[in-house]
Amino acid sequence: MEYKKIKEINEYKSESINPMKTPDTMYELYSVPFFTTGHPEYLHGSEIGSSKVTVQKNDILVCKINPRINRVWVVADESNYQSIASSEWIVVRTAQYNPYFLSWYFRTPMFQQLMTSEVTGIGGSLTRAQPKRVVEYPVPVLSREKQDKIVSILDRLESIKRERKSELDLLDSLVKARFVEMFGSQRKSCDLSSYIHELRSGKSLAGSEVCKNKVLKTGAATFGWFDPNQYKYLPNDYQPLPEHRVETGDLMISRMNTPNLVGACSYVFKAPEDMYYPDRLWKVIPTEKTNLIFLWQLLWDDEVRRQIKEKASGTSGTMHNISKARLLKVKCIDVPIEIQNQYANDVVHVVKSKSVIQKSLDETQILFQSLMQEYFG
């Protein structure tokens, strides 16, 4: 594939502007903090405290601050206001390229590696890519027709991925909505000890080599749905105990986490092989009156979460811990096992639908990555 340097295609000439000189003028500002929203912010000149650079529709913005985050934005000219950008963006303007083709290219692992290989700064969020070096980086030379075709395919796959993720989010909300519908008016209460017979922790050891046996990280239970990719390898010479093995149908609770996430939990609908509990995650051994799928959602109830956070302790501002005794004293609704089972059956149906959608999302992602490799190397 033939390449040119960015400086050979870039027609942009930087033009500075001080919005405070026109305080009543409304601007369309492309700022780094607003990147995650997907839209620029709209501010009067009086609200913008520093000079900016002018940009126009189809300019490509490559963020130079902390380039490992890989922020690339195409100016869309969403309004009739003048478009401006902060100086933390490297601006590329070219009539030779479809701007969205370059946007995809600038987000490739290869280009990101270039961006992060020659940074200045002391590390972390204070590192910056060097514009004088970035303009020396290569871009592939392709016909406009080929560029447009690539953009069409990648945009379509990205749209499918967004649709699948939206469908997964909707199903997650259905699980919570069904819980509120069935139990929101429940008044009879009990302690969590009515549902939990025992809390069993594992052992945290970290090996330096790849090993068949793995131990979970706290992140496996942090966001409600079990994440089997959150693990590290156990030492090859350590034989974990059978009772520490993660099994299908388990409910795990994080005993130590950030103040807002201590007590976070997840249910294991399908256990990976040779996975074991660490000491920071408890395996719930239920009482006879407990359906663990119901208990999983009960532990995410707002009132239960409030009590857990209140009962947790810790001198660190980042990590808090809750004891078994305090967790078991948390007050919650008292629901007969028959009703718990009804709710759990509804959740299982939702999870089956999620599995189908997740499989489609995974397949789309594999195809997407394959095509990115084919198009950009």
Whether residues 330 and 343 share a domain: the answer is no
- Domain extent, residue 167, equals 143-185+335-377
- Interaxial angle between packed helices 99-106 and 337-376, expressed in degrees from 0 to 180 and rounded to the nearest 10: 110
Residue 67: exposure state from Cβ atoms within 10 A (0-12, 13-18, ≥19): buried
CB 328 within 8 A of CB 282: no
Give dist(CA 122, CA 110) in Å, integer: 23
- What does pTM read for this prediction? 0.81
Residue 132 and residue 23 share a domain: yes
**Cα–Cα dist 188/251, whole Å:** 24
Do 56 and 83 share a domain, yes or no? yes
Q: What does each of the 377 residues of the chain score in pLDDT, given as a tens digit?
A: 899 999 999 999 999 999 999 999 999 999 999 999 999 999 999 999 899 999 999 999 999 999 999 999 999 977 889 999 999 999 999 999 999 999 999 999 999 999 998 888 866 667 899 999 999 999 999 999 999 999 999 999 999 999 999 999 999 999 999 999 999 888 899 999 999 999 999 998 887 788 999 999 999 998 899 999 999 999 998 999 999 999 999 999 999 999 889 999 999 999 999 999 999 999 999 999 999 999 999 999 999 999 999 999 986 667 899 999 999 999 999 999 999 999 999 999 999 999 999 999 999 999 999 999 999 98
Q: Are residues 148 and 69 in the same domain?
A: no
Where residue 18 sits, what CATH number does that domain have?
Answer: 3.90.220.20
User: Do 291 and 322 sit in the same domain of this protein?
Assistant: yes
CB 282 within 8 A of CB 201: yes
Distance CA 100, CA 106 (A): 10
Q: How many CB atoms lie within 10 A of CB 85?
A: 22
Which residue has 């052992």 as its token pair? 203
